Amino acid sequence: MAIIPSKIEVEEVSNILLEELNVFHSSIKERLGIDDITYSLEIGTFKVCNGYPEENTLASSVPNSEGTGVEKIIFFSASITDKINRYYSKIYNKQPAFMEAAKILIRFAIIHELVHIKQFKNGLTFEQYKQIDYTENPWEREANEVASEIISETGSFGTEIINVLRENTVISSDNLNYIIGLLDDNENN
């Protein structure tokens, strides 16, 4: 059998996003205590700043007119697709592990943005948020930590998939069998 790097298309990611936003999203809202907050959800392709795509932005919370809450969350399907294909393509021949990795990355993005909703519910303003550079921003760190923690509850496979994302590495030939084995272990437990 030929070994073909896995690849997912934007349309597939958009479909998974819609599915996860219909099911997974509400359970996380409840868990974070934000099911009383109203905002809209959209799916775009890339975030555009100054006329150029920001390819690393998976999702973005758009402030309300007062800057005290979120009006909408936009998930960027092309950016998510690029990240999945870059980090997880070594899970060859589009194995179930590749599709599971794609779902985990999407769930991570959903949780991350919902943590921001909770932060604003708890008093954070966009003025405060903007005062600190993204890479040093404690609210971004918290959103990543909470999302990682919730994903890690699904098992070692999810933890490793998110570690690849957060460490900005890729699944390689060196760690491929280990990571796929973790999915098998999760399914057997």
What are the b/e assignments for 6-40, b being 16+ CB within 10 Å?
bebebeebbebbeebbeeebeebbeebebeeeebe
| Nearest-angstrom CA–CA distance, 135 and 59 | 16
Q: Which residue has the higher pLDDT, 50 or 139?
A: 139
Q: What is the band of 187 on the pLDDT scale with cuts at 50, 70, 90?
A: low
- At 174, which helix (H) or strand (E)? none
Q: Which residue has the higher pLDDT, 101 or 187?
A: 101
Percent of the chain with pLDDT over 90: 62
Residue 184 has pLDDT above 80, yes or no: no
Residue 171 has pLDDT above 60, yes or no: yes
| 26, two tokens | 């509400």
166 Cβ partners below 8 Å, 6+ apart? 144, 148
Tally Cβ neighbours within 10 Å of residue 114: 26
pLDDT tens track for 23-49: 999 999 999 999 999 999 999 999 988
| Nearest-angstrom CA–CA distance, 155 and 182 | 8
Residue 90 has pLDDT above 90, yes or no: no
pLDDT tens track for 55-64: 889 999 999 9
Residues facing residue 48 across a β-bridge: 53
Opening angle at CA 150, ends 27 and 39, nearest 5: 45
pLDDT averaged over the chain? 90
What residue spans define the domains of the chain? Answer: 10-188
Q: What is the band of 73 on the pLDDT scale with cuts at 50, 70, 90?
A: very high
